[in-house]
A and B are shown apart, each in its own frame.
Chain A
Amino acid sequence: MKPAFVWIAMLGWTAAALWIAVSARRNMKAGASEFFIAGRRLRGFVSGMTYAATTYSAFMLVGLVGLTYRSGVGALGFEMTYLIFTVLFLITFGPRFWIVGNWYGHITPPELLAHRYQNQWVAVAAAVISFFMLIPYASVQLMGMGLLVEGITGGEIPFMTGVFIMAGLSGFSALWAGMRSVAWTDAFQAVTMMATSVAALLFTLYHFFGSPLSFPAAAAEKAPELLRFTWSPALFIGLTLPWAFFALTNPQVSQRMYVPESITSLRRMVIYFALFGFFYTVISTLFGLEAAIIIPGLENPDKAMPQLLAKVPTLLGIIIFVGIFAAATSTLGSIILTLGSLFARDIARPCYPEINEASERWLGRLVIILLLAGCMVFAWFQPGLITVISSMASGGLLVMAPAIVAAFFWRRATAAAALVSMIVGGAATAVMYIARIYPLGWWPSVWGGAATLLLFIGVSLITRPPDNADRFIASVEAELSAYRFRYIRKY
């Protein structure tokens, strides 16, 4: 593809995203919650789209396409199982996070843990684990974009140019107006992702298979092995388990349960996200099956989508490229903003309790800049280990699941249990991933998750729960029962 076309697409789309980010600042007020969670005043559509754009990264149109290309329908099963769990978790935990966040002014998910367990160190541990797991994940987004830009232009646009442009846009969105500009650009990016992928899918189905209706027969004839479910239980569960709890354990998405302006907006956020995820998953896996038929025999399945781009007209290739660029940029922007808020609220504030909200905002901004610089350095070196650490991210964050679930449902849960399970479970999971230890063939996430759960239950039973546990859980349940989640603002 000619570099000029890629430049025009990248810069044109970036200019539009920047304009939206700038416009988003108009109604911005003072305060940390205004910067980090848009003052809890986002409407349903923007909330749903920022949730979707944050969740679905470039992995969908690159990694999931490649996974489907190589291993068939199991990839769809994995991704749909994730979606099913996320929807059920959102309708269970969404109202609880939202109510408690409004009552007590929580801005980050670890603040909820610190409040419920009456121990600030629980929040510090959760924040540190999030940093450790999410920085490599964010760096992979940059690396993916650098490789894509370099790949589709035959190296005429260098790897680091793609990295700089993406880092610049993500950084600007996060710094300019915090969650407000990130959410608005996310909404634009989500619409771009969906529109471009639908257009590209329809074109490829008509162009290569005659019509969408002919595709099932062509797939059954030319790639029957991909339509059979051949994944081992160890692979399916090992890959799916950490992603199934993604909605609770990844702070960049769980923080979004605080942002809707009303319970109606929260409901719309869940529905819009669910519909987006459903269609985007179907589209991505169909691309994978198409690529397996059109360009079989690739050694590296992650190149299936870039190779498919080379087979379509330039305009369509540009459209798909913009969709992938949007997906990666939105995920990166959301992660760095959330990590900035975690540092300001959960790490800096316990150290300097007198810090005011204006300082928290500036500290968050400083952390965002440092994070972007660190991610670019990671991307520059392209270390092999980063891929392993990146895949470890979801497995590592799984160790927070017991403490988060129990916060709302188990009165006996204690701060000591939350701390021990997160730290020991997280360390054990990380070591197993890095050393590639797969006992009995099962993934580290499965062993780490099981060990974390057992530790959490065991330590809770031998330590004393905080005094507020009963009151905390009972008050939330009473609010939910009495008002069907209708909320009367107390904060």
Chain B
Amino acid sequence: MRGFTCLALLVAVTLIDLSVPYFLIGDIASLWASYLFWTLLALLVIIFAIAYTRLWGRQL
């Protein structure tokens, strides 16, 4: 991944990672709030990584 793409992704993911629990759902006393949010966010990043690396090794 290019440096700028990685940096942009890290900034975006960090903002989402912090802002949603702190400002939107942190007060909800349910497993389906912050717990589910972080679980889904990590899962999305893993799915992105699988999709992004699918062409590794194939010559352009």
Asked whether any CB of chain B lies closer than 8 Å to the CB of A485, the reply is yes
Given the complex, which residues of A lie within 8 Å of B39, measured CB to CB?
A: 76, 80, 282
Q: Check B27 against A228 for contact (C-beta < 8 Å).
A: yes
Q: Of A82-90, A428-436, A444-452, which stretch is located at the interface? A: A82-90
Q: Which of B6-44 contact A (CB under 8 A)?
A: 6, 9-10, 13-14, 17-18, 21-22, 25-35, 38-39, 41-43
* Count of chain A residues near B, Cβ 8 A: 49
The distance in angstroms between the C-alpha atoms of A263 and B58, with both chains bound, is: 10
Interface mask (A71-85 → B, CB under 8 Å = 1, otherwise 0): 001001100110111
The distance in angstroms between the C-alpha atoms of A264 and B57, with both chains bound, is: 7
Q: Which of A46-96 contact B (CB under 8 A)?
A: 73, 76-77, 80-81, 83-85, 87-92, 95
With A224-B29, A228-B28, A229-B22 known to touch, is A92 a contact of B6 (CB < 8 Å)? yes
Given the complex, which residues of A lie within 8 Å of B33, measured CB to CB?
A: 227
The distance in angstroms between the C-alpha atoms of A90 and B52, with both chains bound, is: 12
Q: Check B17 against A227 for contact (C-beta < 8 Å).
A: no
**Which residue of the partner chain, among A81, A220, A482, contacts B17 with CB atoms under 8 Å?**
A81
Asked whether any CB of chain B lies closer than 8 Å to the CB of A208, the reply is no
Q: Check B57 against A91 for contact (C-beta < 8 Å).
A: no
Given the complex, which residues of B lie within 8 Å of A87, measured CB to CB?
A: 45-46, 49
Q: Check A77 against B17 for contact (C-beta < 8 Å).
A: yes
Return the chain B residue nearest A406 by Cβ.
B3
Q: Check A271 against B50 for contact (C-beta < 8 Å).
A: yes
Shortest distance in angstroms between B5's beta carbon and chain A's nearest beta carbon?
8
Q: Check B56 against A227 for contact (C-beta < 8 Å).
A: no
Asked whether any CB of chain B lies closer than 8 Å to the CB of A188, the reply is no
Shortest distance in angstroms between B44's beta carbon and chain A's nearest beta carbon?
9
Q: Size class of B's contact patch? A: 35 or more
The distance in angstroms between the C-alpha atoms of A335 and B25, with both chains bound, is: 39
Given the complex, which residues of A lie within 8 Å of B3, measured CB to CB?
A: 92, 408-409
Given the complex, which residues of B lie within 8 Å of A278, measured CB to CB?
A: 42-43, 46
Interface mask (A382-424 → B, CB under 8 Å = 1, otherwise 0): 0000000000000000000000000011000000000000000
Shortest distance in angstroms between A467's beta carbon and chain B's nearest beta carbon?
22
The distance in angstroms between the C-alpha atoms of A408 and B39, with both chains bound, is: 31
With A88-B9, A278-B42 known to touch, is A77 a contact of B34 (CB < 8 Å)? yes
Q: Which of A264-316 contact B (CB under 8 A)?
A: 264, 266-267, 270-271, 274-275, 278, 281-282, 285, 289
With A77-B17, A408-B3 known to touch, is A84 a contact of B45 (CB < 8 Å)? yes
Asked whether any CB of chain B lies closer than 8 Å to the CB of A470, the reply is no
Return the chain A residue nearest B10 by Cβ.
A88
28 A-B contact pairs sorted by A residue (CB < 8 Å) = A80-B41, A81-B38, A83-B42, A84-B41, A87-B45, A87-B46, A88-B1, A88-B6, A88-B9, A88-B13, A88-B45, A90-B49, A91-B1, A91-B49, A91-B52, A215-B31, A216-B30, A216-B32, A219-B31, A227-B29, A227-B30, A227-B33, A228-B29, A229-B34, A230-B26, A262-B57, A264-B56, A271-B46
> Which B residues are closer than 8 A to A by beta carbons?
1, 3, 6, 9-10, 13-14, 17-18, 21-22, 25-35, 38-39, 41-43, 45-46, 49-50, 52-53, 55-60
Known: A91-B53, A270-B49. 18 other contacts (CB 8 A): A80-B39, A88-B49, A91-B49, A225-B29, A228-B27, A228-B34, A229-B27, A229-B34, A233-B18, A236-B18, A263-B57, A266-B56, A267-B53, A270-B53, A282-B39, A289-B31, A486-B56, A486-B57
